Amino acid sequence: MNALDVNSSSPHLSGPHSVTRVMGLVLVALLPGTLAMQWYFGWGVIINITLAVSSAVLAEAAVLALRGRPVSHTLIDLSAVVTGWLLALALPPLLPWWQTVLGSTFAIVVAKQLYGGIGFNPFNPAMAGYVLLLVSFPVTMTRWLPPDVISGAAPTLTESLHMIFSGMPPDGQTWDAISRATPLDLMRTELAQNRMISEIRASPLWGDYGGRGWEWVGNWFLLGGLFIIWRRVISWRIPVAMLGSLLLVAGLFWAIDPETHPFPAFHLFSGGAILGAFFIATDPVSAATTPRGQLVYGALVGVFVFVIRSWGGYPDAVAFSVLLMNMAAPTIDYYTQPRIFGQRGRDDA
Amino acid sequence: MITAIFTIAGLATLFGLLLGYSAIRFRVEGDPIADQIDALLPQTQCGQCGFAGCRPYAEAIAGGGAEINRCPPGGESTMIALAELLGRDPVPLEDEAAAEKPKSVAFIVEEECIGCTLCIQACPVDAIVGAAKQMHTVIADECTGCELCLPPCPVECIHMHPIEVTPQTWRWPHPPTPGREVVNG
Amino acid sequence: MADTGVAARIHGGLHLDEHKQESNATAIRTLGLPTRLVLPMHQHIGEPAEPLVRVGETVLKGQMIARASDYVSAPVHAPTSGRVTAIGEYPVPHPSGLHDLCIVLEPDGEDRWDTLPPGFPDWRSTDPAEMRERIRWAGIVGLGGAAFPTAVKVNTSGQRRIETLIINAAECEPYITCDDRLMREQAADIVDGIAILRHVLGAERCLIGIEDNKPEAAEALRAALGATVDAATDVVEVPTLYPSGGERQLIMLLTGREVPSHGLPAAVGVVCQNVATAAAVADAVLRGRPLIDRIVTVTGRGVVQPGNFRVRFGTPAPFVIDAAGGRSTDYHRLILGGPMMGFSLHDHQVPVTKASNCLLAPAADELPPSPTERPCIRCGECARVCPAQLLPQQLYWQARAQDFDKVQDYHLFDCIECGCCAYVCPAHIPLVHYYRFAKTAIWAHERDRDKSDLARRRHEARQARLERLEAERKARLRQKKEALEQQPSAAGKDPKRAAIEAAMQRVAAKKAAQLDAGQAPNDE
Ligand code: SF4
Ligand code: SF4
C-alpha cells in the first residue's frame, strides 16, 4: 500500500529542531561580536573568517568524499562553517593566510574527521586548530593589532590583503610599528617585570574595565551568547559557571593583592573569555552534557583560564582550558548523572 | 641511611598489611571458573564442541584444554562473552561453527514413528516422551535443538523445525545505521 | 468537592499541537456488525487466553469464549452471537506485523445475549474479593492502551495500603479523544465505576487527573459527581503538557509522590486506572456485562469524517474506517494509537482489540517521515525533555553499541517510550527505536538464559539418573557374582543358616535400593 518503512518506531512526529538550525543560530549569534571586531581591528578579521571558513568547508568536503560519506548532506549541517568561524575569531587579524588555512584544515581533518566527524570529536576542533598554530607559530600568533581607537585607523582592505597574503608589513613600516600585544599579553609581560597594576593601567590599551576595544567586542559577543541561551541552543550553565568561577577566583586574588592581580572584570573583557564561555566551551560535542556536569565543567574551565593566565606560559588560556576540560568531560558526565525519576521514591505519605 | 631503610621497610609492611587486608575484605566470592563458563554456554548439550556436553566443555576451557571458539549454537556472542570472562583474545569461530543456524526444535512425524525409543536414549535433556512400540513426541519447550536424536532414528522421522517468531518473542530490529548504507548521497 | 490544585510538576515534557478538535466535536457513534469478527487471544499484557470453544460451535453475545490462562491474563467474550468459523493464526495489531492465535466469529445478526450473571446492586456491602473476581471474569484490562489486566492491578493485598485512587483522564497524546467523548457522554457510569473501584481498593479518596484542554469533559464529571454524594472524589485539571498522562507522571502531578523506579504505584499508596476502565468496571459490577467493546477514535486527514465509535472487539479496521466516511484521497497509512506512541500497522485488516484506543490515518504531510538521521551532537535537548529524567543520549549510545549491561545501568527500563526525546532531537535520531531494540533484545537474552538454565537442570538430572542406574546395575552384578562365589563355601555350612543369611542379604539389598531411589532426583 505504501513504501513507508512500517518498522520505524514511534514517535511519528518530529520537532522543528535540526542540527542545521542549531548551527545557523550560532552563526547569527556570532555576527554582532564579529562586526565589532571588524570595527576595531579592521578587515583582517573578515579576511580571516573567509579564509578559515572556506578552507574548513573544503577540507570537510574532501574528507567526506574520501571516506565515502554523503558530502552535501553533511555539509549543510553548517558545523564546518562554525568551526572555521570560531577559529578565525581567535586568530590575530593579520596572520599570514597559509597559517589560517593550515589551522582550519587541521581543525577539520585531524581534530574532527579523524575521530569520525561531527559528534565524535573529543576535542573542540577550532581550539585544537588554534593551539596547533599557537605552538607552531608563536611570533605571528601573538602579533595583534591595536584597536583602531588607539592607532587612529585600522588597516584598510588593500593593506590588510597585502599583509595577509605577502606576510610582510607595508613598505617602509615594521611589524613592531603596526602591531601591538593584546592587553592580556601586555599584562603578563609587564607583571613579569614587576610593574604595578596601577602603572600598567596607564597603558593606552586599557579601557574602562577591560582591554580597550576588547571590552566592546566582549559586550557584543555577550549579546549573541544571551541570544542563543534565549533560543535554547545552549544552556546557561556552562557560560555562567565559567564566567562566575573566573570572576570569583580573579576577585579573590585581586582582593588579596590588587597590585599584582588585575581587577576581575579585566579577565572577563580582555581576551577570549566571553567568546569562549558562550561559543567555545559550550560546543556540545566536546563539553559535558549532564546539568550538574556542565556546572562543574564550566567552573573548572574558568579556574584553569585564571591559573594559566596568571602563572602559565601563554597569555590567553581559553583554548588550553577548554581542551583540558574536553578530556575530562566524559568522566564528569559519568559522575554527575542526574537522579532519575523514581530514584528518590520520596515517601512522604 | 638507617632511617631510610626503616622508612622503606615500614612502608613495605604497611602496604603489605593493607593489601592483605583488602584481599580478605574485598574478596570476590566467585563461582569456580568452570561454573561461570558453564553459565555462559547455551546448554544445548549437542556435543558439537567435541565434548560430552556443555559442562565437560566448560571444564575443559577452565583447565586450559580447549579453545573458546568451539560452540556453534552459542555462536559469536558466546565466544565473545567467554573471551571477556577469561580475559582472552576473541578467536574466530571454527569453520563449521561459523555458520550459525536458526534455532530449531526437533519434531517427530508421529505417523512414521515406530516407537523404538532410540531417540529417547539420545536426548540429553529428556525432552522426548514415549514408550516402546508407542509413538514418541518431543516436548518443544524442553528441546534444545541439539539434533542428537536425528542420527539414531532408524526411520528418519525426526525433523528440525526452526522456532517461529511470535509477537511475544519478536525483537525490534537494530535501526539502520546512517552513513553506512548511503554512499555518495 | 474542594478544588485541588496540581501538587507538583514533572520534568521535561512537550507542548504539542493537539489535533483533538477534528474528532471530538461529534457524539460517539455505535458501529454495526461486520461480516466477521477476529478475536485475538492476546489482547492484554500477560499470558494469552485459552480458547474454550471449537470450530463450528455457536456462541451467544457475552459468552466467555476463551479463559484466562494464568493469574496475569484476561478472558475474551463473544461480542455478538454467532458461529465460530475458525481458530487460527491471523494478523493482529502488533508492531511486528506477525500473526497470532485468534478465534473467528461469524455473527448471526441476532445479537442475542447469553444469560449474564446478576449485578451487585448492593456492592457497597459486597466483599471486594468477590468484585475483583467479577472484574476478572469480565475480561477488563486497562483501556488507556497498556491493557494490563485490571483485576490484577486492583488486587493490592500484601502491599501497602492504598489511600488514593487516581483516575487517568489526561489523554495527553495528540489526536486521541475517546476518553474525552466518553467523559462527556457517560460521566455517570465513570463515577459509578470510580466508587466501586474505591470500595474494592479501600482507597479513601480519588483524584481524577484531566488535562485543562478538556473543560467540557471536566464539567460533565463534576456534574455527575455532584449528583452523587461522593465527597472524596475530586477532579483536578492539570496543565496540558505531554506526557502528563503517563502513569508515574500523573501520580507526581496529582499527589507530588514519586513512584520508585522498579516499583509499583502501590508503593506510594496509589493505584491508577483509566477513565474508560472505570466505566467498564461499572458495567461489569452493576450490570454483569463483560467487556466486549470500547470507544475508538478514528482520525487523521486520511479519513473523511473523523470521530469516535463504539466498536466491538474483533471488528476489522477497514470496517471502522468505512464508518468514518471511508478513506479520503489522502489515505496513506494507518497508525494504531497516537502519533507519539502508536505504531504503524503492516496489515490494514487487523481487528480492533482491547488496547486499540485510536486509529490514526495521517495524510502524507500530516506526519511526514522524520528527516534523515545525523550523528548525535550531544546537545542534551533529549535529557531536558525526558519526563523520566533519563539521559536518552547515553541510552542511545549504549543501545547502539549493543552494550546491554550498560544500557540498563542508564535505566533503560525506566524509559516510558513517550518519544519526547526523539521529537526534539536535532539530529533526528530514532531514539525510541533504539530503546525498543535494546529492550526486546534484553528480554530475548533473558528468555534464552532461562531456557538454558532449564536445559542445564534437566541435563544434570538425567546425568544423575544415568549414573544411578549404572551404579545399580553394577551393584546387582556384584551381588550375583558374590552369590555365585559364596555357594561352594555355603555348601559346607548348615543349609538352614545359609538360607537365612541369603534372605537377610536380600532384604538389606532391597532396603538399600529403596533408600537410593528415595534420594534420587524426582525426574521420572
Ligand atoms: S537530542 Fe539528539 S543530538 Fe541532542 S543529545 Fe539527544 S540524541 Fe544527541
Ligand atoms: S522516550 Fe524514554 S528516554 Fe525518551 S523522553 Fe521518553 S522516557 Fe525519556
Per-residue pLDDT at A73: 80
> What is the C-alpha radius of gyration for chain A, rounded to an integer number of angstroms?
22
Angle between helices A97-106 and A44-66 (to 10 degrees): 40
| pLDDT, averaged across chain A | 84
Q: Which residues of C330-364 are buried (b: 16+ CB within 10 A; e: fewer)?
A: bbbbbbbbbbbbbbbbbbbebbbbbbbbbbbbbbe
Per-residue pLDDT at C524: 41
User: Can you name the residues that pair with C118 across neighbouring β-strands?
Assistant: none
Q: Nearest residue of C to residue A10 by CA position? A: C341
DSSP string, B119-164: HHHH-TT--EE--TTS--EE-TTT-----TTTTT-TT--EEEEEPP
Q: Which ligand is nearest to the CA of A341?
A: 2
Cα–ligand 2 centroid distance for A22 (angstroms): 22
Q: Do B184 and A71 touch (CB under 8 A)?
A: yes
Q: How confident is the model at residue A116 (pLDDT cuts 50, 70, 90)?
A: confident
pLDDT of residue A197 exceeding 90 = no
Lowest-confidence region among A112-126, A157-171, B93-107, C327-341:
B93-107
A9, A67 in Cβ contact below 8 A? no
What pLDDT tens digit does each residue of chain C (524 aa) get? 444 577 788 888 899 988 998 888 899 999 989 999 999 999 999 999 999 999 999 999 999 999 998 899 999 999 999 999 999 999 999 998 889 999 999 999 888 899 888 888 888 888 888 889 999 999 999 998 889 999 998 887 766 788 899 999 999 999 999 999 999 999 999 999 999 999 898 888 999 999 989 999 999 999 888 887 677 888 999 999 989 989 999 999 999 888 888 888 888 889 999 999 999 999 999 999 999 999 999 999 989 999 999 999 999 999 999 998 888 888 888 999 999 999 988 888 899 999 999 999 998 888 888 888 888 988 888 998 999 999 999 999 999 888 888 899 889 999 999 999 999 999 999 999 999 999 999 999 898 888 888 888 888 888 888 889 889 989 999 888 888 877 665 555 566 666 677 777 777 777 666 665 555 444 44
Q: Nearest residue of C to residue A345 by CA position? A: C260
Q: Do B182 and A70 touch (CB under 8 A)?
A: yes
Per-residue pLDDT at C220: 92
Cα–ligand 1 centroid distance for C425 (angstroms): 5
3-class secondary-structure state, position A14: coil
Per-residue pLDDT at B137: 83
Distance CA B72, CA B75 (A): 5
pLDDT of residue B182 exceeding 60 = no
Q: Please enumerate in sequence order all residues whose Cβ is within 8 A of that of A281, keeping only pairs 6 or more positions apart, or say none.
A: A238, A239, A242, A287, A297, A298, A301, A318, A322, A325
Q: Do C455 and B44 touch (CB under 8 A)?
A: yes
- Whether B44 contacts chain C with CB within 8 A: yes
Distance CA C323, CA C320 (A): 5
Per-residue pLDDT at C77: 94
Q: Which three cell numbers stand for residue C165?
A: 485512587
* Tally of residues, chain C: 524
Q: Do B166 and C100 touch (CB under 8 A)?
A: yes
What's the topology of domain B32-98? 3-methyladenine DNA Glycosylase II; Chain A, domain 3 (1.10.15)
Per-residue pLDDT at A345: 42
Question: Hey, whose CA ends up nearest to atom 1 of ligand 2?
Answer: C417
Question: Hey, whose CA ends up nearest to atom 3 of ligand 1?
Answer: C376
- Size of the B and C interface in Cβ pairs below 8 Å: 83
Distance CA A258, CA C471 (A): 94
Q: How confident is the model at residue A7 (pLDDT cuts 50, 70, 90)?
A: low
Within chain B, all domains assigned CATH 1.10.15.40 are found at 32-98
Question: H helices within A152-282, ranges in order?
Answer: 157-166, 175-178, 183-192, 197-200, 214-230, 237-256, 264-269, 273-275
Residue B95 neighbours by CB distance under 10 Å: 7
Question: Hey, whose CA ends up nearest to atom 2 of ligand 1?
Answer: C425
Q: Nearest residue of B to residue C94 by CA position? A: B167
Q: Which ligand is nearest to the CA of C381?
A: 1
Q: How confident is the model at residue B31 (pLDDT cuts 50, 70, 90)?
A: low
Nearest to A348 among C257, C424, C427 (CB): C257
Question: Hey, whose CA ends up nearest to atom 4 of ligand 2?
Answer: C421
Ligand 2 pocket (Cβ < 6 Å) reads: C 385-388, 390, 392, 415-421, 431-432
Ligand 1 pocket (Cβ < 6 Å) reads: C 376-382, 392-393, 396, 424-427, 429, 431
Residue A5 inside a domain? The answer is no
3-class secondary-structure state, position A154: coil
Range of the domain at A124: 17-180
- Whether B30 contacts chain A with CB within 8 A: no
pLDDT of residue B163 exceeding 70 = yes
CATH number of the structural domain B104-162: 3.30.70.20
Q: How many domains, in total, are found in chain A?
A: 1
Residue A105 inside a domain? The answer is yes
Q: Give B-chain residues touching C94 at CB under 8 angstroms.
A: 167, 170
Cα–ligand 1 centroid distance for B73 (angstroms): 38
User: Best of A73, A76, A118, A120 to disrupt the B interface by mutation (most B CBs within 10 Å)?
Assistant: A73
Distance set, CA A325 to CA A64, A116, A242, C375 (Å): 28, 20, 12, 22
Put simply, the chain B residues between 157 and 176 with a CB less than 8 A from any chain A CB are 172-173, 175
Lowest-confidence region among A147-161, A260-274, B153-167, C54-68:
A147-161
Per-residue pLDDT at B136: 80
- The mean pLDDT value for B149-167 works out to 87
- The mean pLDDT value for A290-311 works out to 90
Q: Give A-chain residues touching B183 at CB under 8 angstroms.
A: 68-70
Of B127, B130, B121, nearest to B151 (Cα)? B121
Within chain B, all domains assigned CATH 3.30.70.20 are found at 104-162
Lowest-confidence region among A3-17, B113-127, B158-172, C238-252:
A3-17
> What is the C-alpha radius of gyration for chain C, rounded to an integer number of angstroms?
30
Residue C140 neighbours by CB distance under 10 Å: 31
Q: Please enumerate in sequence order all residues whose Cβ is within 8 A of that of C191, keeping only pairs 6 or more positions apart, or say none.
A: C221, C224, C225, C227, C228, C230, C233
3-class secondary-structure state, position B32: coil
* Tally of residues, chain B: 185
